[in-house]
Chain A
């Protein structure tokens, strides 16, 4: 049978992120796949070399719009690892609360998108409506729905007020029944079972060989979670369960994410109820020369930051590794052999975040003009004017 090449990208029509897949198909079956990334480099690693240690926290916060806390969390732990020092207990609990809130909204966002990719828009609407509630909680705690700016090397920037806690706990409790409903609706749905079970299987050995991370590896039976293996923040002092399944297909990846949100709620509630008293910041002062590594469990897997300092107030090397960088190469094993229509959801099942994966400055060398925000507004207004004139409006 003849082979056909199907290009998807460089701007993914569904995931709305810059990546370029080349699917080689025979009939309906995918026989080969390749990916190019690099369409949206932002130079974060290089930029960080020109910022001081405090400012870099804000730079890395903007690597990802969804897991905006996991990068600062890994970064501040890398800076603390240079000494090494540990943040005060109250700061650790606050960090944990913020990180878990982010995990809940990130998993709900994925669940909604997964439903949308399958054409099951009810799940999309439910999950995203529920996500708003969690974003409200984050707004009460940090003052912002996303990009919380709560972290700094040595502690946290902002305290959680005792007066806010009852309202936050009530809000968290109020979302549990809806979450239960979504869990039942998704996990008991025969259509979703039929659609997702047995496709995109990543075996346990493959997950280990690719060093896959987070829900992608836990769905394949690799019981690895940085929160358990190398406890940071308050995780070492808490009771919670790691969710592990063994089939490695898309359905299991969905199960892991849904069940993890319940664990996150459990952790968040415990931390809010048992918030220790005391300082929230160590006031580190000068950062000594040396190198530090911070790794934390982000919603998509381990986020890894490596920082090298020469004793000045800037880093000399800041390496960022987002979880998708390790998870995305598993597509070689999971997509080949399935149909094109499966490829969409298999590629989405790792919860890819391409913009996190790309951090290096690159310009377009063909079209030398780079449009900024003002140019785009001007273009958009001109187009509106053209349409108005065409339709006869004055």
Chain B
């Protein structure tokens, strides 16, 4: 499939779930979708379009929590970036990790650092933060504050 065919295919197949599709440059496409559609859109791009999963970037935005899943279809040099916007008070989305192994670690990372819940993740243990880190404190959120008042911080030189 060519680049144009891929974009047309995504539009016809997931038209109802696509909120916005931005054709930014010759090798970047940004597609915002309805969060409930992530499992079938993600699996379709990975399995049927033979894309490689690059990574997912989660951002704490002023009014919502955003995840951008980056997939690259290397045969046509096209990076498809799938964006979902989640409510800030209870960010929840279905896990892709059981369908695509490559998402295992990054979903754990996003859960620990930004507090996004991945429903149905096969292995939701801690990966990065220490066991003594309190529940419900997410260090990459914009409203993160120092919680351990007694800690001595190395301010560097």
* Interface residues in chain A, defined as those with a beta carbon under 8 Å from any beta carbon in chain B: 36-38, 41, 45-46, 81, 84, 208-211, 224, 229-230, 291, 293, 295, 302, 304, 306, 308, 316-317, 319, 321, 325-326, 328-329, 358, 360-366, 368-370, 372-373
B101's nearest neighbour on chain A, judged by CB, is A209
A370 touching B79 in the complex, CB below 8 Å, given contacts A211-B54, A224-B74, A362-B133: no
A325 touches B55 (CB 8 A): yes
Q: How far is the CA of A220 from the CA of B90 in the complex (A)?
A: 41
Considering the chains assembled together, what is the distance between the CA atoms of A370 and B156 in angstroms?
11
The smallest C-beta distance from B119 to any residue of chain A, in angstroms, reads 21
Q: Is the CB of A372 within 8 A of B157?
A: yes
Whether B70 pairs with A37 at a CB distance below 8 angstroms is: no
CB pair B140–A38 under 8 Å, yes or no, is no
Name the B residues within 8 Å of A373 (CB-CB).
Answer: 157
A-contacting residues, B59-93, CB 8 Å: 59, 68, 70, 72, 74-75, 77, 79, 81
A362–B101 contact, CB under 8 A?
Answer: no
Question: Residue on B with the closest CB to A208?
Answer: B52
Beyond A46-B140, A316-B59, whether A293 also contacts B28 by CB under 8 A is: yes
Is the Cβ of B151 less than 8 Å from the Cβ of A36? no
Nearest chain-A residue to B134 (Cβ)? A365
A291 to B25, CA, bound (A): 12
Q: Does B139 contact A (CB under 8 A)?
A: yes
Q: Is the CB of B70 within 8 A of A362?
A: no
Contact across chains for B128 and A362 when beta carbons are under 8 A apart:
yes
User: A326-B102, A365-B133, A368-B151 are known contacts. Are A230 and B74 too (CB-CB below 8 A)?
Assistant: yes
**Chain B residue with the shortest CB-CB distance to A35:** B127
Q: Which residues of chain B are near A291, meaning CB under 8 Å?
A: 30, 68
User: Does any Cβ of A come within 8 Å of B12's Cβ?
Assistant: no
Name B128's contact: one of A38, A302, A321 (CB within 8 Å): A38
Q: Is B8 positioned at the interface, with any CB of A under 8 Å from its CB?
A: no
Cα distance A256–B34 when bound, in Å? 42
B11 located at the interface, meaning its Cβ lies under 8 Å from any Cβ of chain A in the complex: no
With A38-B128, A41-B128 known, 16 other A-B pairs at CB within 8 A are A209-B102, A211-B100, A229-B75, A229-B77, A230-B77, A293-B70, A293-B81, A304-B70, A306-B70, A317-B59, A325-B106, A326-B55, A326-B102, A329-B102, A360-B140, A362-B139
A363:B59 contact, CB within 8 angstroms: no
**13 A-B residue pairings within 8 Å (CB atoms):** A229-B72, A229-B74, A229-B77, A291-B68, A293-B79, A306-B70, A316-B59, A319-B55, A326-B55, A329-B102, A362-B130, A365-B130, A368-B151
